[in-house]
Structure 1
Amino acid sequence: MSESPALSELLKDAPTNWGKWGPDDEVGALNYLTAEEVMRGISSVKSGRVFTLQRMIGDPKGDPVWPGRTPAVRTQILDESDWDEGGKGPDFPGGLHYADDKIEAFLQGSTQYDALGHLWFDGKIWNGHSADTTRGGLEKASIMPIANRGVVGRGILLDMARWRGKDSLDSAETFTHEDLMACAKDQGTEIAKRDIIIIRTNYMQQFHTKGDAFYENFCEPGLVYSPELVEWFQKMEIPNLATDSIANEVTFDPNTGVALTLHCALMRNLGIALTEICDLEELAADCAEDRQYTFMYAAAPLKVSKAAGTPVNPLAIK
Structure 2
Amino acid sequence: MTDSTKKAPELTELLADSPTNWGKWGPDDQVGSLNYLTNAEVLRGIKSVNSGDLFTLQRMIGDPKGDPVWPGREPATVEMVWDEASWDGEGAPQFPGGLHYADDTMHAFLQGSTQYDALGHVWYGGKIYNGYDARTTVGGLDKASVEPIAERGVAGRGVLIDMARYFGVDALPARKTFDHNDLMAAAAQQGVTIEKHDILVIRTNHLQLFFEQGDAFYDDFCEPGLQYSPELVQWFQDMEIPNLVTDLIGNEVTTDPDTGVSLTLHNALMRNLGVAFSEICDLEKLAAACAADGKWDFFYVAAPLKINRASGSPVNPVAIR
Query: Given the two structures, how large is their TM-score scaled by the length of structure 2?
Result: 0.98
Is 2:141 the partner of 1:135? no
Q: Structure 1 regions of 5+ residues with no counterpart? A: none
Tell me the distance in 1 between the aligned counterparts of 2:154 and 2:100.
38
Q: 2: distance between equivalents of 1:85 and 1:215?
A: 45
Match for residue 24 of structure 1? 28
Paired AA for residue 235 in structure 1: D
* Shift in Å, 1:278: 0.1
Superposed displacement of residue 108, structure 1? 0.1
The CA distance in 2 between the partners of 1:191 and 1:228, in whole Å, is 17
Distance 2:113 2:82 in 1: 25
From 41, 45, 61, give the equivalent of 2:65.
61
Name the counterpart of 1:248.
251
**In structure 2, C-alpha distance between the alignment counterparts of 1:202 and 1:86, rounded to whole Å:** 52
Which residue number corresponds to residue 107 of structure 2? Answer: 104
Dislocated runs of 4+, deviation >4 Å: none
Q: Does 1:271 align with 2:274?
A: yes
Shift of 1:91: 1.3
Structure 1 position 163, deviation (Å): 1.1
Match of 1:73 in 2: 77
Given the alignment, which residue of 139, 155, 159 partners 2:158? Answer: 155
Instruction: Establish whether residue 116 from structure 1 lines up as the match of residue 119 from structure 2.
Output: yes
In the alignment, the residues of structure 1 paired with residue 286 and residue 14 of structure 2 have an alpha-carbon distance, to the nearest angstrom, of 36
AA aligned to 1:268 is R
**1:263-299 deviation line (CA, Å, top 9, x unaligned):** 0000000000000000000000000001100000000
Q: How many Å apart are 1:86 and its aligned residue?
A: 3.4
The separation in 2 between residues aligned to 1:130 and 1:140, in whole angstroms, is 9
TM-score normalised to the size of structure 1?
0.99
**Identity, % of aligned positions:** 67
- Partners of 2:230 and 2:45 in 1: CA distance: 29
Give the deviation of 1:87 after TM superposition: 2.1
Task: Tell me the amino acid that sits aligned with residue 52 of structure 1.
Answer: T
5+ residue gaps in structure 2? none
Is 2:17 aligned against 1:13? yes
Equivalent pairs, count: 317
Residue of 305, 309, 312 corresponding to 2:308: 305
CA root-mean-square deviation: 0.5
- Partner deviation per Cα, 1:12-50 (whole Å, 9 max, x = no partner): 000000000000100000000000000000000010000
- CA displacement 1:177-206 (0-9 Å, x = unmatched): 000000000000110000000000001100
CA distance in 1, matches of 2:131, 2:83: 50
Distance between the aligned counterparts of 2:137 and 2:131, measured in 1?
Answer: 13
